[in-house]
Amino acid sequence: MYPELDADERTTLGQFLDQYRRRALSRLERLSDAQARTKSLPATDLTPGGVVKHLAHMEDHWFIARIGGGELPEPWASAPIDTQPRWAFESADSDTVEELSALYRAACARSRQVASRLPTLDTTAPRPSFGKGPVTLRWVMVHMLEETACHTGHLDLLTDAIPAQAP
């Protein structure tokens, strides 16, 4: 479903973000577990599963911990992200496509819930970002649209380079 052509700003941002969330999931969910762990391009260690797990982390980071002011849920709360910043990408090798899909769907649902309870796009985060000050809901939605669209492009390249499974 393509976003409405005449919706207000908040609806437009939400619809485009949801469109890219669906695209990311569709790239992952057509893969086997082994394919989701495949490093298909020689120039990168990225895997489709790792990209989707990273996107789940970013949903929770920006919507739950930043603009929502809450604590990160598992698996992020106990993950060694401070010492292993690529943990989300790398730990996905231990997850199935079903687990990664469920993780990402749950993170997106939490993000939508946080966004829906905030009164306006100008609502500011209770915590500063980048050592400068708080971001707004508008900024978070635009940033997550950028992040999700960029990584969906990565998923296109990664999954296109994976040989099709034999029937």
Q: Taking 90 as the threshold, does the pLDDT of residue 105 lie above it? A: yes
Q: What is the Cα–Cα distance from 104 to 95, expressed in whole angstroms?
A: 12
Residue 166 banded pLDDT, cuts 50, 70, 90: very low
Task: Tell me, yes or no, whether 144 lies in a domain.
Answer: yes
Q: Is the Cβ–Cβ distance between 126 and 69 less than 8 Å?
A: yes
The residue among 47, 31, 146 whose CA lies nearest residue 92 is 47
Domain-embedded: residue 6: no
Question: For residue range 52-94, what is the model confidence (pLDDT) as tens digits?
Answer: 999 999 999 999 999 999 999 999 999 999 999 999 999 999 9
pLDDT in tens, 18-65: 999 999 999 999 999 999 999 999 999 999 999 999 999 999 999 999
Task: Compute CA 16 distance to the chain's CA centroid, rounded to the nearest angstrom.
Answer: 13
Residue 5 falls within a domain, yes or no?
A: no
| E-assigned strand segments in 9-144 | 124-129, 133-136
Residue 9 within a domain = no
Report how far apart, in Å, the C-alpha atoms of 153 and of each of 6, 23, 72, 105 are: 26, 10, 27, 19
Residue 151 structural domain: 15-160
Looking at residue 163, its pLDDT comes to: 80
Mean residue pLDDT of the chain comes to 95
What is the tally of structural domains in the chain?
1
- pLDDT at residue 106 is higher than 70: yes
Q: How does residue 165 score in pLDDT terms, banded at 50, 70 and 90? A: low
Has residue 37 been placed in a domain? yes
pLDDT at 2: 83
20 near 141, Cβ under 8 Å? no
Confidence of residue 128 (pLDDT cuts 50, 70, 90): confident
Is 25 a domain residue?
yes
Q: Is residue 28 part of a domain?
A: yes
Does 164 score more than 80 pLDDT? no
Does any domain span residue 33?
yes
**E-strand spans in 52-131?**
124-129
- pLDDT, position 167: 44
